[in-house]
Amino acid sequence: MKLKLVIMFVTLYIVMSFSQVGLAMALKVAPQRLVFRIDDPETTTQVVIVTNTSDKPIRVKVYPEMAPEQKQEEYLGDWIVVYPRLLSLQPGEKKYARFTVRTPEEIQDGEYRALLFFEEIYQQPENQEEAEGIELDFQLLTKLGINIYGQYGQILHRGSLEEVELLMEDGQLLIRGNFVNRGNAHLLMDAGVIVTDEQGKIVAESQVPFFAVHRSVFRTFEDQLAVSGSGSYQLRIIFKQEDVIIDEYTGEFEIPSRID
């Protein structure tokens, strides 16, 4: 008795953020992040290069979606027209996916965001002969998402580190707090952490790169530094975006003397 062919496939789902993803995938997109003005006719149309990095022909559909934590009123996707919405690429071939933003007549100043997805479509293998038993066709399909940010009017980059907790454990200073975005655009910052003693000497420091906080949300900030010796210390955390200080937090803590 001949049984029906059973197809199995897996989608590799990745949202490209602010770092490279080191995985073997059938497609590659560039750039991985777009920030542009939507109140300038010269920049309302953007282009993404899509490359087939596999050794087989692939088909890719292109579409926007809302990020899970995003507010509806800050969503860019409803104003986007993508063309073409379906790409067919031979092995090694590159093609352009374009999208245009058509903004409503009245919107507030600020940044509007969407995830633009590039999803590989399952394709039935050609010339597949029917056979007895169950045949499995396992395909690893790629789905990539990139952040796109459309900016309108005056853009304000503001935020603050709040609800900070400082804990000492086995000679390690544990820092935890919530960084709240209080502006109207996303923040992509570096955080410099410095601990000084009572004489102002630096005893510990670290750097936290690419700390991103999207509009209208908060993100947990955490860091850990080795600090030894009893005494009073001052903690300073500086959040910078392109050399502009977004926020500066200062706090004090003490390490008591050991009593044997």
The percent of residues above 90 in pLDDT, for the chain, comes to: 73
- Asked, for residue 181, whether it belongs to a domain, the answer is yes
Determine the Cα–Cα distance for residues 162 and 58; give it in Å rounded to an integer.
47
| pLDDT mean over 244-248 | 98
Helix H or strand E segment including 110: strand 110-120
- Asked, for residue 1, whether it belongs to a domain, the answer is no
- Asked, for residue 260, whether it belongs to a domain, the answer is no
Please spell the DSSP secondary structure of 72-85, one letter per residue.
GGGB-GGGEEEESS
User: Residue 175 above 50 pLDDT?
Assistant: yes
* 193-203 b/e (C-beta count within 10 Å ≥ 16 → b): bbbbeeeeeeb
CATH of the domain at 83: 2.60.40.10
| pLDDT mean over 134-139 | 54
- Asked, for residue 25, whether it belongs to a domain, the answer is yes
User: Residue 133 above 90 pLDDT?
Assistant: no
Mark whether 70 and 165 lie in a shared domain.
no
> Which residue range is the domain that position 227 belongs to?
159-255
Mark whether 238 and 125 lie in a shared domain.
no
User: Residue 136 above 60 pLDDT?
Assistant: no
Mark whether 128 and 225 lie in a shared domain.
no
pLDDT in tens, 60-96: 999 999 999 899 999 999 999 999 999 999 999 999 9
Q: Positive or negative, the Cα torsion across 67, 72, 76, 79?
A: positive
Mark whether 47 and 12 lie in a shared domain.
yes
Domain end, chosen from 127, 152, 177, is at 152
Mark whether 12 and 100 lie in a shared domain.
yes
Give the chain's mean pLDDT: 87
More confident residue, 122 or 155: 155
Report the candidate in 27, 28, 31 with the shortest Cα–Cα distance to residue 140.
Answer: 27
| pLDDT mean over 33-49 | 96
Radius of gyration of the chain (CA): 25
pLDDT in tens, 8-38: 444 444 555 544 444 557 889 999 999 999 9
Counting the structural domains of the chain, the total is: 2
Residue 35 makes CB contacts below 8 A (sequence gap 6+) with: 149, 151
Mark whether 24 and 135 lie in a shared domain.
yes
Report the candidate in 16, 113, 104 with the shortest Cα–Cα distance to residue 66.
Answer: 113
226 confidence band (pLDDT: 50, 70, 90):
very high
Mark whether 147 and 170 lie in a shared domain.
no
Quick one: CA torsion of 10, 15, 16, 18, rounded to 10 degrees? -140
More confident residue, 256 or 116: 116
- Asked, for residue 140, whether it belongs to a domain, the answer is yes
pLDDT score, position 258: 67
Q: Tell me the helices (H) and strands (E) count for the chain, helix number first.
A: 0, 17
